[in-house]
Structure 1
Amino acid sequence: MARSPARCPPWWTPSTRASRRRPMAAPATSPPSPPSSSTASRPSSPSGLPTTPSTKIMQGLLDQYTVAGNGKALAMVVAMAGYFGERVRSVIQRHSIERHWTSLNEETGGMNDVLYQLYAITNDQRHLVLAHLFDKPCFLGLLAVQADSLSDFHANTHIPIVVGGQMRYEVTGDPLYKEIATFFMDVVNSSHTYATGGTSVSEFWFDPKRLAETLTTENEESCTTYNMLKVSRHLFRWTKEIAYADYYERALINGVLSIQRGRDPGVMIYMLPQGPGKSKAVSYHGWGTQYDSFWCCYGTGIESFSKLGDSIYFEEKGGKPALYIVQYIPSTFNWRSVGLTVTQQVKPLSSSDQNLQVSLSISAKTNGQYATVNVRIPSWASPNGAKATLNDKDLQMASPGTFLSVTKQWGSGDRLTLQLPIGLRTEAIKDDRPEYATLQAVLFGPFLLAGLTTGDWDAKAGGAAVSEWITPVPASYNSQLVTLTQESGNGTLVLSLLSTAKATSLTMQPHPEGGGTDAAVHATFRLVPQGQVAPPTGERRHATNGTAATATLASALIEPFDMPGMAVSNNLTLAAEKGPSSLFNVVPGLDRAPGSVSLELAARPGCFLITAGAKANVQVGCGPGFSLQAASFARAEPLRRYHPISFAARGARRSFLLEPLFTLRDEFYTVYFNVGA
């Protein structure tokens, strides 16, 4: 039976209490991003107010005023607030306050947020009262009494209300709304968050700590991640607690970078699938298009990518100025209030070199600039091997989950370096039922790793440490990757491995258009060298009409790209054993075409892989009767390559190739594995 969404009755009446704006440390950021469009498909509220798109317009106009001093933009926001105030007042007078509260059961965007910002500028009590009227007290009231009652509430209707409550705290100083935001973040993180840092299933929250049964294609609406980043950012500014910066990093890497299809601009998703064997391309919405998709998640998605640099640096002004460096992103920050320039360089990570290496060049315009620089040491960092230096001299290293603080008079060429060991770890799904304790995600530092699989999710730890059943894929393996092609009357075909639950077969498939697909994965193989073999025998010459080359040949295993440790056997099935029955001799092409190769069964000299039939199936051909062209393949550049952060995880029936979730496009993948002993 379908669950009814949680709705709020009109139990509460807003207070008009206000106090002087509370001073705070200002974030060191770039100017706010321009407003982005929201969706026409979002319904207006029952009051007839198109609040979701209107808040985006109002926020953009406010940004024009606060950043560029555009008085006309401020006048427009004031006029819009007046219009909405009259509409709300009319609804209350003609119907009831209940009617207005009912309207807040639909998505109203961040109306309270933008109205509190407006009040801070105008000091107009009408703007404060209107902001209160969008606070939805029946929802915030549950959080005020610290009740974990998010179940059945629409996630992205209510996260912006919490963000607005945070602005209420900043503007009025009411401590209750700081407590509400803190409790809300704790509840979402402890009970309703996936390993990506995202939340929601089919746009709603369900029972706390019961996520195992929610894994599907419709997880983590992109808008919710956008708004949860706002919540965590405010909390970090108020508290400087590392946990909020750690959350921001995780959600940014896995929840924001994952929603765009590679480097295709304007191609984004609505939901981020988390179920076994799912694809970003195969969901209710799938990928959007550059010009025709007008979802709410396009507005927040574009805005999220415009804000990638807005939470790297935070400054604390006053008599003892301090800078907080909380994200490791190559960048330069001009700390104007102190006269320092900070340039951050980050060495690209790889699974083989498991150390995050950061270099901070700090230069003063004039010598003697006294300030404190605080660098986040993430909770995921290992204390073993962690190192920090200042101008090549070792510093006392801070513990993971704290800040490394350096206070000094900075000169013109100071250099602070960090080496932070990154380890693999598993993280159980947020579900407290014992039968789901084996469902675990795999993370490498802040990076969530997904396995390339169409549904198999049974991993085999064997009681060993994570580093023993999950091992790095060396970068050198990329040189062993290949895609084998043949030309046909219909174009170029590629040798592909097709696997189902019942069988595995080799076949020739049309050449995929572009990368990032399962077709590209299945058409990429690793030829694992196994040494050299003798020149052709007379038997082999006879079998191939005497066309075989006389040079020394290479013996290799044919390993599917997404199945490390498995090999195509001589009977064209997959095998985990690497014996003679899985060896192939890679010989110069029997068709004598430049650069072509043929694949001879090592255990059966004179027998080769050949294509046959109208469906271009691949089979074994022996003797002089087969076409030499059918047994010859061109070696093309691999359609897929290993990401620098790639691992092989041992499974119950096969091994899995793990890559960062944000790198995947249309491939089918699994986020949570059933990890058995």
Structure 2
Amino acid sequence: MWASTHNETLKKKMSAVVSALSACQVKMGTGYLSAFPSELFDRFEAIKPVWAPYYTIHKILAGLLDQYTLADNSQALKMVKWMVDYFYNRVRNVITNYSVERHYLSLNEETGGMNDVLYKLFSITADPKHLVLAHLFDKPCFLGLLAVQADDISGFHANTHIPVVVGAQMRYEITGDPLYKDIGAFFMDVVNSSHSYATGGTSVGEFWSDPKRLASTLQTENEESCTTYNMLKVSRHLFRWTKEMAYADYYERALTNGVLGIQRGTEPGVMIYMLPQYPGSSKAKSNHGWGTLYDSFWCCYGTGIESFSKLGDSIYFEEREAPGLYIIQYISSSLDWKSGQILLHQKVDPIVSSDPYLRVTLTFSPKKGTSQASTLHLRIPIWTNSEGATATINSQSLPLPAPGSFLSVNRKWSSSNKLTLQIPISLRTEAIKDDRHEYASIQAILYGPYLLAGHTSGDWNLKSGSGNSLSDSITPIPASYNGQLVSFSQESGNSTFVLANSNYSISMEKLPESGTDASLQATFRLLFKDSSSSKLSSFKDVIGKSVMLEPFDLPGMLLVQQGKDRGFAVTKSADDDGSSIFRVVSGLDGKDGTVSLESGIQNGCYVYSGVDYNSGQSMKLSCKSGTSLDTSFNQGASFVMNEGLSQYHPISFVAKGDKRNFLLAPLYSLRDESYTIYFHIQP
């Protein structure tokens, strides 16, 4: 984060942490540094139960080494070397007193990326001890399987072994041994072809399941966030070496859905450890949402915080052979490209469902004295298509390559240059990785790189549309619909209650928090009987209008009356008897800002709460006596009408189902709402 921002507050904080840790290390006097005693390593080396002490040591070493390599903190490098001397001696003693087999047996406990950080350290120090110790953490029993290209990772603990592969990739970087380059490529192919979900994440209950059998694994404990974090490292290395589009596409998918997806809303620091995948999942119900003592502290909060601090580290890749720059992620950002001698500014227009294009604009600020030409390579993602795609520079059209290729533009860039790229975004389905015939209909829905989740507590049956066309069964929600969303509330005692759709019936519920199922259920879309009334400047314009109420999370359904002194229902289609029509009138209680909902077919009958109620009490259609001035009735039939408690995300769709329709939005946008990301899509 500091390397991206050079924020002085961050600089002071990180320097203070290094100094405090150094004081601890000096006080202990052996080079050892951890929050737990060294006796845990005695148990580790004796093959006794102990939770992953090297995992934590790796985090400390990696953080300190980053302080040196990114922030030039020489004190941090001294601390790392002293720590590594300590552990070099420990490992040497195990091998000398027992055997190297004893050491390798101990590595069946999670050790994080010890080999990775040690290879990085060797690249700095050239100390042979650091290279030897790195080799000793390479775990040959796992890397050997990959070396002979045996697709046999099922049953392995995912986040124990992905960092080992990242370390093997660093071994290739440091030593040039091509075997370790091939190991990384084969591993990536195995995970992507057989063990990854539509999010780009992997693992179930922290382990790899049987290959291409993922339909049986959808549950709460899917997709450990640490595995996604580490798979991004694997793909990043592979793209750097090969420039292959598949790795850039994977990075975008996993970053957009697997990393951003572990947010619970937009509040900072609220993340989950597992990303559930079963129908009716919720981030709030993730078993590790707030975590266990071990995994969630390091894996969720360590990995989660780090992931969100470096969202910009793989947007641009520099070509070493010649002044060239690969732009593989379309994220609004600026780059001080030193070898290209320009400041590059990337602006990405907000993506919406009703305008299916990604639009990118690049502008340039050359540095004084710039005389060289350079090449920009712009990624044309595999998920787009050529129809409607355009690229221009200063309004001059450029020939576009096919999706899955790079658009390369070479010139001496000037401040007058403006390069624009417009590429179509379309809906597509992607079958779950399961080769059994009975699961062929289980598919995820994506809009460009965005994985869409349906608001549902478990329903998952969708229709594919005529000719299996998604355009027939999934339609975008216009942004203007947000202006039609309302919620109805009443005060009772010291509490606020809202009109809500609960299990297809209408009741009064306590005012919910945003980002919850209850918030969705307390939001309705106003549909006007007279289409000319749909554009309103204020809620006062609704008074006197005849409307229908569509539950926010049940598009296409309507609130309907079931008769005098009876409750209300929610049905997929209303009859032509007017039972779905209500007239919005000024509140019967006579207060400014309240409204009452009068039946469109029974004059003098209103939506009535009963006033003194408990949460969950059903609503009914109640009729007012023509002669009495019943204050209690007037109060129970009057509501404050406000903007909807929930709003449509800019990327929102309606998908047709056999019994109900589904509101779709990007998985990353959800907080605690129930969702489904895999649907049973029927012809």
TM-score (norm 1): 0.89
Selected match of 1:565 from 552, 556, 571: 556
Q: Which residue pairs with 2:525 in the alignment?
A: 526
Contact kept, 8 Å, 2:290 with 2:296, in 1: the verdict is: no
Distance (Å, rounded) in 2 between the aligned partners of 1:190 and 1:40: 40
Matches within 5 A, 1:248-327: 248-287=251-290, 294-318=297-321, 320-327=322-329
Q: Which residue pairs with 2:487 in the alignment?
A: 483
Q: Which residue pairs with 1:10 in the alignment?
A: none
* Shift, 1:532, TM fit: 8.7
Selected match of 1:496 from 478, 495, 500: 500
Contact kept, 8 Å, 1:458 with 1:651, in 2: the verdict is: yes
Distance (Å, rounded) in 2 between the aligned partners of 1:532 and 1:360: 42
Amino acid at match of 2:529: Q
Q: Which residue pairs with 1:6 in the alignment?
A: none
Q: Which residue pairs with 1:542 in the alignment?
A: none
* Shift, 1:338, TM fit: 2.1
Contact kept, 8 Å, 2:288 with 2:296, in 1: the verdict is: no
Contact kept, 8 Å, 2:273 with 2:296, in 1: the verdict is: no
Matches within 5 A, 1:121-520: 121-287=124-290, 294-318=297-321, 320-365=322-367, 366=369, 368-463=371-466, 464-499=468-503, 504-513=504-513, 515-520=514-519
Tell me the SS of whatever aligns to 1:553: coil
* Shift, 1:606, TM fit: 2.1
Tell me the SS of whatever aligns to 2:530: strand
Q: Which residue pairs with 1:646 in the alignment?
A: 652
Selected match of 2:589 from 588, 591, 596: 591
Tell me the SS of whatever aligns to 2:121: helix
Amino acid at match of 1:489: G
* Shift, 1:490, TM fit: 3.2
Tell me the SS of whatever aligns to 2:343: strand
Distance (Å, rounded) in 2 between the aligned partners of 1:196 and 1:317: 32
Q: Which moved more, 1:121-130 or 1:172-181?
A: 121-130
Distance (Å, rounded) in 1 between the aligned partners of 2:638 and 2:93: 79
Amino acid at match of 1:675: I
Whether 1:577 and 2:573 are equivalent positions in the alignment is yes
Tell me the SS of whatever aligns to 1:492: strand
Tell me the SS of whatever aligns to 1:58: helix
Distance (Å, rounded) in 2 between the aligned partners of 1:335 and 1:587: 62
Amino acid at match of 2:357: N
Distance (Å, rounded) in 2 between the aligned partners of 1:426 and 1:532: 34
Q: C-alpha deviations, 1:186-235, integer Å up to 9, x for none?
A: 01001000000000011000000000010011111010010000000000
Contact kept, 8 Å, 1:268 with 1:289, in 2: the verdict is: no
Amino acid at match of 1:576: K
In the comparison of the two structures, how many residue pairs are matched? 627
Distance (Å, rounded) in 2 between the aligned partners of 1:133 and 1:289: 30
* Shift, 1:92, TM fit: 1.8
Distance (Å, rounded) in 2 between the aligned partners of 1:576 and 1:429: 29
Distance (Å, rounded) in 2 between the aligned partners of 1:181 and 1:203: 20
Distance (Å, rounded) in 2 between the aligned partners of 1:301 and 1:204: 19
Tell me the SS of whatever aligns to 2:303: helix
Q: Which moved more, 1:292-301 or 1:393-402?
A: 292-301
* Shift, 1:552, TM fit: 7.5
Distance (Å, rounded) in 2 between the aligned partners of 1:295 and 1:582: 53
Distance (Å, rounded) in 2 between the aligned partners of 1:67 and 1:435: 51
Q: C-alpha deviations, 1:633-660, integer Å up to 9, x for none?
A: 1112211000000000001100000000
Matches within 5 A, 1:48-127: 50-127=53-130
Contact kept, 8 Å, 2:155 with 2:209, in 1: the verdict is: yes
* Shift, 1:663, TM fit: 0.5
Distance (Å, rounded) in 2 between the aligned partners of 1:287 and 1:265: 14
Amino acid at match of 1:257: L
Amino acid at match of 1:312: I
Amino acid at match of 1:661: L
* Shift, 1:438, TM fit: 0.5
Contact kept, 8 Å, 1:532 with 1:554, in 2: the verdict is: no
Tell me the SS of whatever aligns to 2:297: coil
Q: Which residue pairs with 1:607 in the alignment?
A: 605
Selected match of 1:555 from 546, 549, 569: 546
Selected match of 1:670 from 656, 676, 683: 676
After superposition, the Cα gap between the structure-2 partners of 1:31 and 1:100, relative to the gap in structure 1 and judged at 3 Å, is: farther
Q: Which residue pairs with 1:22 in the alignment?
A: none
Tell me the SS of whatever aligns to 1:199: coil
Distance (Å, rounded) in 2 between the aligned partners of 1:552 and 1:639: 20
Tell me the SS of whatever aligns to 1:281: helix
Distance (Å, rounded) in 1 between the aligned partners of 2:383 and 2:518: 35
Contact kept, 8 Å, 1:438 with 1:674, in 2: the verdict is: yes
Among all aligned residue pairs of Structure 1 and Structure 2, give the percentage whose two residues are the same amino acid.
60
* Shift, 1:605, TM fit: 2.3
Q: Which residue pairs with 2:31 in the alignment?
A: none
Selected match of 1:655 from 649, 652, 661: 661
Unaligned stretches of 5+ residues in structure 2: 22-33, 47-51, 533-539, 563-567
Amino acid at match of 1:618: M
Contact kept, 8 Å, 1:600 with 1:609, in 2: the verdict is: yes
* Shift, 1:468, TM fit: 1.2
After superposition, the Cα gap between the structure-2 partners of 1:91 and 1:55, relative to the gap in structure 1 and judged at 3 Å, is: same
Give me the CA root mean square deviation.
2.6
Distance (Å, rounded) in 1 between the aligned partners of 2:529 and 2:35: 57
Tell me the SS of whatever aligns to 1:556: strand
Structure with greater contact order relative to length (CA < 8 Å, sep ≥ 6): 1
Distance (Å, rounded) in 2 between the aligned partners of 1:299 and 1:532: 53
Q: C-alpha deviations, 1:227-258, integer Å up to 9, x for none?
A: 00000000000000111111111111111112
* Shift, 1:317, TM fit: 2.5
Contact kept, 8 Å, 1:29 with 1:313, in 2: the verdict is: no
After superposition, the Cα gap between the structure-2 partners of 1:490 and 1:421, relative to the gap in structure 1 and judged at 3 Å, is: same
Amino acid at match of 1:458: N
Whether 1:635 and 2:632 are equivalent positions in the alignment is no
TM-score (norm 2): 0.88
Tell me the SS of whatever aligns to 1:369: coil
After superposition, the Cα gap between the structure-2 partners of 1:30 and 1:117, relative to the gap in structure 1 and judged at 3 Å, is: farther
Contact kept, 8 Å, 2:579 with 2:601, in 1: the verdict is: yes
Distance (Å, rounded) in 2 between the aligned partners of 1:39 and 1:369: 53
Amino acid at match of 1:641: Q
Tell me the SS of whatever aligns to 2:462: strand
* Shift, 1:98, TM fit: 2.1
* Shift, 1:293, TM fit: 6.4
Amino acid at match of 2:528: P
Q: C-alpha deviations, 1:485-518, integer Å up to 9, x for none?
A: 011013111111101xxxx3211111113x1111
Distance (Å, rounded) in 1 between the aligned partners of 2:599 and 2:652: 30
